[in-house]
Amino acid sequence: MLTKILIANRGEIALRVILACRELGVRTVAVYSEADEHALHVRYADEEVCIGPAKASESYLNVPSIISAAQVTGADGLHPGYGFLSESPYLAEAADACGITFIGPSVDSLRLLGDKVRARHAMKKAGIPILPGTAEPPESIGEALKASRRLGFPLIIKATAGGGGRGMRIVYDRSEIETAWSMAQREAAAAFGDGTLYLEKYIESPRHIEFQVLADRAGNVVHLGERECSIQRRHQKLIEEAPSTVLTDRQRRKLGKTVVNAVRAVGYQNAGTFEFLMDDRERFYFLEANTRLQVEHPVTEMVTGIDIVKEQIRIASGETLSFRQDEVVLMGHAIECRINAESPDTFRPSPGTIKVFSVPGGPGIRMDTAAHTDSVVSPHYDSLVAKLIAHGQDRDEAIARMRRALAMTVVEGVDTTIPLYRKIFEDQDFIAGRLNTSFMNRFASE
Ligand code: MV4
């Protein structure tokens, strides 16, 4: 078992990892920027190291700083959390080179699945259905035009180094390709340092369903079921739930087995999430793989009873999984709301000091947060204040519990998206489970 883990992150996810370490009896090292000196994750860690100024590029994205902090404190493990460097092959490679165990997949897996075209190839080879698209990135706009004749419209232009929807362009007609292509190229080069693009057939208003997997170093792979993440706004997930309202047990077993085989085929280790789109004829297509712990991991934890972070740490410590696939049983239904310090109407960030922070408890409620009364929501980082998760024996009970928990959650001093969730949880389509990725467009317009 690793003895001391440095958490290369901040906010609620840093605290979440620290909690898992404390329960495992593993010592922890928090890193913090000058803006996070009084943050809760620093308070609950055994040791802390300031790694630089508030600006993320000089602190939480600063690989030499983070690796040095691990070396001076003698940490033998490093958990990257999500966001920041959580999918960075550079951080993983630096950790490996310094004999520090990166709690995540190997550098090769990070590189393979981080390249969205290579990932598509690998999944197709492993028997996972992928969307019709270009096998190789078109070398020029001319090649893209040629590919569009074969694929038909609508098309979506994506960055091979991208993911999470950044730099994507949806194209409905041949006349739009040239402009969309050059804009996407510029955006991708600026955002990822790599302007390489590829094309896929665009699916209108799909459902967004992702499978959680765990794989140890001995080749054991299990999936922990799926999460439905169709309630999104500009690629920011707002509400996630498990299980999905549309997947039958048969579909879950079939897709889960396919994902497990693909994970084995690419030699993936530790926790990972494989995203799919489901079209209106209930066909599934692989979208992308996330080689990190995800924000929404708690909904899977609530329905399976498995602590995914502890499993990550055990796998990284060389332990084999302590359960088989047939021991993973989904119980009930869980829903998560991401409470952001943003205007509930415009989604404009609302940094500032939280004057009153009162969170609900009661049956089936979990609140993952590092916020507290007098804590500061910094303008330097993302606006996530807390994740409110409700679990019930079925979706209706989870909704009823989420409604009352939203009514009991008090955050004063900054705007939050709580009022938006209160409305969504009264919406008939939402309550009936009629979800897809266009839900928020329609909901907002109404
Ligand atoms: C798509 C798609 C439809 N067709 N790809 C890619 C990143 C992921 N987070 C969302 N992505 C999508 N890829 C094809 N071929 C639909 C999405 C998608 C989406 C796209 C635009 C606006 C919002 C979206 C929300 C969820 C999924």
Query: How high is the pLDDT of residue 444?
Result: 83
Residue 253 among the catalytic residues: no
The pair phi, psi for residue 52, each rounded to 5°, is: 145, -175
- Which residue's alpha carbon is at the smallest distance from atom 7 of ligand 1? 165
Record the pTM: 0.96
The rounded distance, in Å, linking the Cα atoms of 265 and 243 is 26
CA of 349 to the centre of ligand 1 (A): 23
Residue to mutate, 237, 239, 287, 442, ligand 1, most ligand atoms under 8 Å from C-beta: 287
CA of 135 to the centre of ligand 1 (A): 19
| Cis status, amide bond into 243, omega within 30 of 0 | yes
CA of 198 to the centre of ligand 1 (A): 14
Query: How high is the pLDDT of residue 347?
Result: 93
Q: Catalytic residue, from 10, 169, 252, 292: name it.
A: 292
Query: How high is the pLDDT of residue 6?
Result: 99
Give the binding-site residues of ligand 1, using a 6 Å CB cut-off: 131, 156, 164-165, 200-203, 206, 208, 232, 235, 277, 287, 437
Distant-in-sequence, close-in-space partners of 224: CB < 8 Å, separation ≥ 6: 212, 213, 214, 300, 304, 306, 308, 328
Query: How high is the pLDDT of residue 445?
Result: 80
∠ at Cα 17 (402, 375), nearest 5°? 65
**Mean pLDDT by groups of 10 residues along the chain of 446 residues:** 98 98 98 98 98 98 98 98 97 98 98 96 95 95 96 96 86 96 94 95 94 98 97 92 95 95 96 96 95 98 98 98 98 98 95 98 98 97 98 98 98 98 97 93 84
